[in-house]
A and B are shown apart, each in its own frame.
Chain A
Amino acid sequence: MNRSIAPEFKQAENLDLVLPEEIVLENGISLFWLRDVKDDSVRLDIEWFAGSKYQHKKLVAGFTNKLLLSGNSKKSARTISEEIDFYGGFIQDECDKDHAAITLYGLRENFRSIFNVFSEAMLNCEFPDKEFEEERTIALSRFKIDSDKVKYVCQRTFNTCMFGENHPYGMVADEPDFIQLTREDLQQFYKTHYLGTIPVLFLVGNVDKTVIDDLRQWSASMSSQKPVFVKRDVKPVPGRTEIAKPEAIQSAIRLGRIAVDKKHPDYFGLQLLDTILGGYFGSRLMTNIREDKGYTYGIGSSVAVLEDSAYFFISTEVAKEVKENTVHEIYAEFDRLKNELIPADELERVKNYMLGEFLRNSDGPGAMMESFKNIWFNKLPVSYYSDFIHAIHRITADDLKNLAQKYFVKDQMVEVIVG
């Protein structure tokens, strides 16, 4: 047997996305439901248009999301979590720039009970002073700890440089913002953006009709009002921003530019180009900066798409003494992609890797729902994933070289180094 010859392999085949069933609840609220689940697990995501871009004061969106189950004069936060815990439920809160979500996890046998505790608490939240102060203390402590991490400071500064310090995507909070926040701010935000704006629901679980009835009843207390947001122009500040941290032994680097959204004709190609550059373990950046030079434990790039903007970025933490070498090598990798065609074997490898990645990302009902959420929130056609796969097959080395020339322009890059 000749061990140097690879066994035959076949490209990953496209897995058809199973679309959830849509049920329209009261107030025009949509519930998307995948019920073909083999075990007893149930997961419900409730998403509101209540991300940080809707806030008029820093931190309000995140605090409101976090304290949605903080209770009222009749039922305390502790009793609420006591009850949900007793039914074996888990609650996860998440707030990003565009959306805020609550996720409920539980087993079929107790899911109605979990939801009912949640529903009552969520609809009658008073943001009690004690719970608010407790969260303020915890969040401020976390903020101070994070502020000692070069990566965290780099990421914040990068957002500000990318979108502008007054843009909703570029605004960052500082210590005084934690002090100035009041519970009235949260109550106001809750009324407008939770009770006052239409949410959307995603349910994965083999539940019976009574759960759907409960959701319908809950939705009757919600609003049918569509979210209102006026999109603002981004004002990137290209060039270098450096923050010195004498005590740090590594430097965090973030480098990037504004990119295109998922509907743009360049998007699929840019994703492929990004994967080649820094999107997987065998990428150019990993091969050069980690596996050849040993400057870092890891380096990667990605294209992040928000509701109103998108950006491409590279991030890493490197030994302090090689930070300039690293930046130099990043630009050298840009130049190689701009000036040389990607070799056929590398292109084939990345394409096959991405096809495998599509398969991994759509394996099982939970993953299918995540894929569907991407389509729904970005208002993409249901053929999005098969379009993406066809595009991957079609894109040539020449296309990628053109894209590199179009996007990897030094003068347009925002560079932030902390440490």
Chain B
Amino acid sequence: MITFERFTLPNGLRVLFHKDETTPLAVVNILYNVGARDEVAEKTGFAHLFEHLMFGGSKNIESFDNPLQLAGGECNAFTNNDITNYYDMLPVQNLETAFWLESDRMLELAFTPKSLEVQRSVVIEEFKQRYLNQPYGDVWLLLRPLIYKSHPYQWATIGKEIAHIEQATMDDVKSFFFRYYSPDNAVLVVGGNTSLEHVRELSEKWFGEIPARGINNRNLKPEPPQQEERELQVEREVSSDALYMAFRMGSRMSPDHYTGDLASDILSRGKSSRLYHALISEKQLFSTLSAYISGGWEDGLFVVSGNLNPGVSFETARTEIWKELEKIATVAIEEKELTKVKNKFKTGKVFSEQSLMNRVMNIAFFEMMGKPDEINDELKKYDAVTADDIQHFCKRTFVKTNCSTLLIKAKK
């Protein structure tokens, strides 16, 4: 059971407090309601580039990192298509240092030209290191536009291309900040051995005077249901052929999320899973094969991906994957197999909740999704999924016209 208390400041900042008496550390997490989905098609990669700029000094404080490190803390952040999340971890007695730093960069950034110039280069190197200079690194740069034709999920968080990052201007930076980095567009979660009163006092002191700049009421048009089978084949300098199949499914907030997650576990979690047993062990068609869900907040994906063994054709590989997908969609799933994946989920959850950081971040996610009280219902929701639910989900999801396939052909 993850417990928390809450209040909202007059400027709209939602503050949640999670007490943990067992740790000498505190976590301060700020989740901003902005992600790559809020970008326009001509200026992609901006939410993520902006996250880098948030460490380049704020209006009254030259460096974000130095004072935090001086107080024994460390921090990081990440951006995805849906949200941008910042977190600090430090000794609980120095909690105020994090409030001071986080509030000043929410108030206003320093907007120095040097910071923009350097972070553009850093992000370009990140683009190269993670997406271009890695085998199969550009897979999602290719898959997203194949799956999404109108929705902003068609670009990756890093951006469509390096040129978009090169072209970012200071005006872009400023307007992005004042549009999205607002107290009423954020959730602050504090975890540690302190009190709600203390958190309230610090929140009012440091965040209270920041003006509300408006909530990001995005109204994105949903991507229409896919009507045809899609395929893209490219050649790359890689050592083995690889295959990616993506199926549209419901979002993180939909019941599909739980059903789809368990279906992916039945298919590929661990060596006793179906895909591993049938296609890696028995038929020896793949050297890796996995199934997972994307968990997108707007729209979800069920992905099956793997590397082919030498001499195996794409045709054989695909036919055999389809056989397994059809089997799970048509043959009744035994209770024992379902219990197995539920038990594994339960163990994973207990271990993941040991971390204060994970608990705090999860509270922030659920609050931002608009259902904070459901954070403790996850186990119940997974438990409630039946074999029939999974079968129905698979039947309507694993359909050719709902599938986008990317084939990477090895040039070597």
Contacts and interface: CB of A to CB of B under 8 A. Distances in A.
Interface of A: 1-4, 6-13, 15, 38-41, 77-78, 81-82, 85-90, 105-107, 110, 130, 134, 137-138, 140-142, 144-145, 147-150, 247-250, 280-282, 290-297, 317-319, 348-350, 352-353, 355-357, 359-360, 363-364, 366, 419
Nearest to A348: B70
A297 B129 contact: yes
B126 interface: yes
14 contacts: A1-B205, A9-B94, A12-B91, A88-B346, A88-B347, A144-B239, A145-B240, A148-B239, A250-B129, A295-B121, A297-B130, A355-B72, A357-B74, A364-B354
A90 B347 contact: yes
B103 to A, nearest CB: 8
B290 interface: no
B133 A86 contact: no
A137 B25 contact: no
B36 to A, nearest CB: 18
A247 B96 CA distance: 49
Interface string B37-61: 0000000000000000000000111
A48 to B, nearest CB: 21
Given A105-B351, A359-B91, A86 B205 contact: no
A10 B74 CA distance: 15
B354 A141 contact: no
The 7 closest A-B pairs by CB, nearest first: A294-B121, A356-B72, A88-B343, A141-B287, A144-B239, A3-B60, A297-B126
Contacts of A293: 118, 121
A148 B135 contact: yes
Contacts, number: 210
Contacts of A15: 24
A294 B119 contact: yes
Nearest to A131: B281
B277 interface: yes
Contact of B287 (A137, A282, A297, A318): A137
Contacts of A350: 69
B28 to A, nearest CB: 13
B132 A291 contact: no
B170 to A, nearest CB: 16
B74 A319 contact: no
B270 A138 contact: no
Contacts of A40: 350
Contacts of A359: 24-25, 72, 91
A106 B75 CA distance: 31
B256 interface: no
Contact of A138 (B63, B280, B354): B280
A7 B24 CA distance: 19
Nearest to B23: A363
Nearest to A40: B350
B336 A9 contact: no
B238 interface: yes
